Amino acid sequence: MKTSRKKRTRPFHGGFTLVEAVITIAVVGIMASLVVSGMTNLSRDSQRIVGRQQQAAVQNAINAWVMSKTRVESSPGVFTSQVMSINDIRSLYNGQSTAKGKFETFLAPNATTGLGGFLDVTTSDHIKSYTTNNQQLKTSALDLAKQHLELPTWTAGAFPKVDLVND
């Protein structure tokens, strides 16, 4: 007589093992950290873009100031004479020893002296309110991006420039 033996089987319980659960949690954690990191970088990048735009605005204001000192317009679009030489304008610009001094004297609207006005009032007021260091022009966007603007000495053979510097 043949006897048959039944093979004992364990019942299957469809669940995760501890190892599978730990691996799943680790993967989800890594993905979450990548998303948070990406969001943080986007915020910093947007602040840096605003900083570059502010640098361009100040640079355009300097260029406009220099050009306003070099020519007299007799009629719209017709320039008839030179008011100051570039060397004289450079000496006037470099006569201000600080970036804040250059900014307030030549670029920012100034009712007292009548100089400036080459930068809009909102941007000018924003820079004035955030600038505490005389060599570093600041705004809230530059502060968040850990940057500042500098107005270095204007050298011969070049145009005055605005530097965007990381803190």
User: What is the pTM assigned to this prediction?
Assistant: 0.69
> Strands 78-81 and 72-75, how do they pair?
antiparallel
Reference 100, options 124, 136, 129; nearest CA is 136
Question: Can you give the residue ranges of every domain in the chain?
Answer: 19-166
Per-residue pLDDT of the chain (167 residues; tens, 9 = 90+): 566 666 666 666 667 788 888 899 999 999 998 888 777 777 778 888 988 999 999 999 898 888 888 877 666 666 666 678 889 889 989 999 899 988 888 887 765 554 567 888 888 888 888 888 889 999 988 988 899 999 999 999 898 999 999 98
Residue 142: CB partners within 8 Å, gap ≥ 6? Answer: 47, 50, 51, 54, 130, 148, 149
Residue 161 backbone phi and psi in degrees, to 5: -130, 165
